[in-house]
Structure 1
Amino acid sequence: MSDLIISPKPDDPKLSASVSGFDQTGVPVETRVVTERALTLYLNRQEIVTMMTIGDHPDLLAVGYLANQNMLEPDNPITGVDYDDDLGVVVVRTRHETNFEEKLKKKIRTSGCAQGTIFGDVMESFEDVKLPGNTILSGRVLQNLLKKINTMPSLYLTAGAIHGCVLARDDAPIAYMEDVGRHNAVDKIAGWMWLNDCDPADKLFYTTGRLTSEMVIKCVMMGIPILISRSGFTAWGVDLARSAGLTLIGRARGARFTVLSGEERVIFDSQPVTETSK
């Protein structure tokens, strides 16, 4: 775990709350539940979107969202990110003024939790992305990575009802983010990568959520060649992954996994699953 730079903070009291209830026998119980807060994002003076989030890393979420929507450009650097906790507002400021009024009209509603959206011209850029082909993942390395992720402290283990995403190099997690919407967790990692000038070419991306079109689009736009999930696929997600040359691995649990795209990057050397190892 020495390569892990940023990770969940399950003990942060702002991220979950104790709620009274009853179990199946009617006995009173106390349980932890995750928080859910509205965060309104501005790019300079323009309101972009309001997101429902657990509230950690608003700066990374804001920058990552804008990066994945093609609203940030290398020749217009970020000069500051301001966050007001009381108002639930985050403002990303760039050197030059921006105007995405027309772009904001071209929204496409996605299957993401909490009403995920992408903007129409993202699909145009998606078709031009070329993913690196020399990143290789072996089944045994994937098995080791999954074991590390599943044993890391997380808000999911504390309160549940949350998605997690992990950026990794081989079987070493680098950044681990959680949120109520899987697209938010992705965007936090995208924001961290953007602000830290992280090279995506040799990275893997793991998510607990479904491998939908939105997840594939975000991963491709981030330049990461391999996307992994413990969950399943959607047909459009598979079609987009194949068209972009993205390696798409789903139903990854233990030594088992299914590859539906980009199998040329995978070394199939997983240990056979026996009755005693299930």
Structure 2
Amino acid sequence: MLYKSCPEEYPVTLYLNGKELLTIQLTEVDLQDWATGYLFAEGIIDSVEEIKEIRFDPYRGNIFTEVESERFDMEQFLKRRRILTAGCGRGVTFRSLKEVGQFKKIKSNITVPLSYIREKMKAFAKQTPLYLKTGGMHAAAIIQPDGELIVREDIGRHNAVDKAIGAALKKGLPGPELIMLTTGRISFEMCAKVAKFGIGIAASRTAATNLAVALGMEISIDLIGYCRGQSAVVYTKGQYIWKDTSAAQRAP
């Protein structure tokens, strides 16, 4: 029998401008990317230039972040309702359904054949060393304009997406020219993260939820589920995708 290593998760507390923001279960890799992506996805920053410092204390499991305080009102932010997200890793978001529903429509700069996304999903699966080592990790990937992948892994699917977005932000990549891939279910809050970055296409090896599809339809994000092998399910209008394969289905 082949034994794998255990997936790793640790409670990590995020401090923002000297105040505790939340504690979340994370895999302790690429934590700067996670902090950057999470702060951006929650609307705390609009660019990496607003981050003054990110420092990790591995002994206590703390991430200390400092952001420009002129635009950001910490006191008002902490009064917002915390919402536990669905699924593994049990993430936390401060964004309400109403707020996300008011996001601007996405204007992606790219259109691609569905076969391209399927091929990138195959390549993505080969670039997940923590999953291959443990068999129990999630991953997210950003397809860059040149076709290269930025891959990040974590115990939680939301965390992996935050890490991938953070890495892309640090590279200065424009959201409307990117595609998001994930091993996990695309839920409403994950779709919101994609929307905040301006990405127009997101694909998963599994499903997209009803609220994610409704959001995608409302603000022009194409969502693809069960993207594995030769199959794929397009849940939305498919405005950025060429349907060049008979295996593609449209969700009922």
Per the normalisation by structure 1, the TM-score is 0.80
SS in 1 for 2:140: strand
Conserved? CA contact 1:39–1:89, under 8 Å: yes
1:100 to 71, 74, 84: 74
Aligned mates of 2:67, 2:247 — CA distance in 1: 52
| CA displacement at 1:121 relative to structure 2 | 5.3
In structure 2, what residue type is equivalent to 1:64? G
Aligned to 2:138: 163
One-letter identity of the residue aligned with 1:138? P
Correspondence 1:30-41 to 2 at 5 A: 30-41=3-14
Partner of 1:114: 89
Deviation (angstroms), 1:248 = 0.5
Structure 1 gaps of 5+ residues are: 1-22, 24-28, 274-278
1:81 is the counterpart of 2:54: yes
Q: What amino acid does structure 2 have at the position aligned with 1:69? A: E
**2:164 corresponds to:** 189
Q: Equivalent residue of 1:140, what SS?
A: helix
Match of 2:124 among 141, 144, 149: 149
Rg (Cα) greater in structure: 1
Percent identical residues:
27
Q: Report the TM-score when normalising by structure 2.
A: 0.88
Counterpart code for 1:231: T
Q: Residues 143, 115 of structure 1: CA spacing in aligned structure 2 closer, same or farther, 3 A cutoff?
A: closer
- What's the offset of the Cα at 1:173? 3.5
CA RMSD after TM alignment: 2.4
Question: Cα offset for 1:166?
Answer: 0.5
1:202-221 correspondence to structure 2 within 5 Å: 202-221=177-196
Q: Is there any run of 5+ residues in structure 2 with no aligned partner, and where?
A: none
Task: Go from structure 1 to structure 2 and tell me whether the alpha carbon gap of 1:133 and 1:192 turns closer, same or farther (over 3 Å shift).
Answer: closer
Indicate conservation of the 8 Å contact 1:37/1:55, yes or no.
yes
Q: Name the CA shift for 1:197/1:69 in 2 (closer, same or farther; >3 Å).
A: same
- Is 1:145–1:170's contact at 8 Å kept on the other side of the alignment? no
- Cα displacement string for residues 71-95 of structure 1 (whole angstroms, at most 9, x for unaligned residues): 1145972111111111111111123
Alignment of 1:139 with 2:114, yes or no, is: yes
Comparing 60-69 with 145-154, which one deviates more in the overlay?
145-154
Asked whether the 8 Å contact 1:79–1:94 carries over to 2, the reply is yes
